[in-house]
Amino acid sequence: MADHRNTLALVAAAATLALVLGFAYGATFNGGCEQIKDAQCGCLEWWFSRYQTLIAMFGAIFVAWLSVQPVLKQLKLSSVQTAVALQQVHADREKRLENWLKPELAALEKLSEDLARGYYEREDDHGVLPHWVWDMNQTVDSTRGRLIRRQDRNFGPAEITAARQNLIDILGRLTKCMSDYNGSVYADDPEYDFSDDDRAKIDAAETKAREYLPTRIDEASVAIKKFAEAVAADLRELRLKRRLYDQMVASANLPAEKLE
């Protein structure tokens, strides 16, 4: 149907142009110009003689307008088809982010809650706290390894990648602190032959870890929150872009077969 309208527009433009050129040819070579010049003031020929340039100009403008209609319609169609393609790209990316990152965020938020609540519930129980630190160190290290594998796949935009790398670094410091926290376990193990100097270093690292563990836990919680904010910001941006393309497609009001 659209192709039929384009053809009609071209035919109308060609017919109008032919009429204008035909009239000009007849007036020029059949004595029309002289007859018009001798016409009485106020008659049709006189008015035409007076405004023939203006009439020709509007005729040319009309012909040009008719001629560009098919091109304009094709440009509009191409623009809408591009919007449809981008709409699909952003919808797929939004879905992929939700499917991949929402479970990851849920696990990280649980880790943050377990770290904060677990430490402050046991900080005064020195018989239980070292065992909790040992167990949580395994969880933190496993979570960090999963984040590193995700980072190696370069999943997500630059903001998410940067926030994830920051979280990986902070979890690395946390797991190092937790390992040092139970350093005396290794020092007392007969399988390890530590010198007195090595034992002194282990004891110093353990003392420092006991002092800085709450800070490292707070840093991890903040980094997890920042990572969640980066993911949420990217999802909001994707949704805004997708809605913009939705509006472009809806306002075009084109048949579905033309958008494929």
DSSP class of residue 193 equals -
Q: What is the pLDDT of residue 56?
A: 64
pLDDT-derived band at 171 (thresholds 50, 70, 90) equals very high
**Ranked by mean pLDDT, which of 99-103, 161-165, 179-183, 235-239 comes out on top?**
161-165
Average pLDDT, the chain: 74
Question: pLDDT (tens digit, 9 = 90+) per residue, 68-124?
Answer: 767 667 666 676 666 666 667 667 777 777 777 788 888 999 999 999 999 888 888
Look at 114-118, 175-179, 189-193, 206-210 and tell me which has the smallest mean pLDDT.
189-193
Distance CA(173)–CA(217), nearest Å, equals 10
Measure Cα distances from 87 to 79, 94, 183, 236, 249 in Å.
12, 11, 55, 15, 9
CA angle centred on 166, ends 164 and 171, rounded to 5° = 95
Q: Are 178 and 133 in contact (CB under 8 A)?
A: yes
Range 53-57 average pLDDT? 64
- Cβ pair 101, 157 in contact under 8 A: no
Interatomic CA distance for residues 241 and 234, integer angstroms: 11
* Residue 227 clears pLDDT 50, i.e. is over it: yes
What is the mean pLDDT of the segment spanning 57-75? 69
DSSP character at residue 191: T
User: Is residue 42 over pLDDT 50?
Assistant: no
Give residue 154's Cα distance to chain centre.
15
Assess whether pLDDT exceeds 70 at residue 23.
no
Q: Where are the domains of the chain?
A: 2-82, 93-259
pLDDT at 158 over 90: no
Q: Name the residue with higher pLDDT: 69 or 180.
A: 180
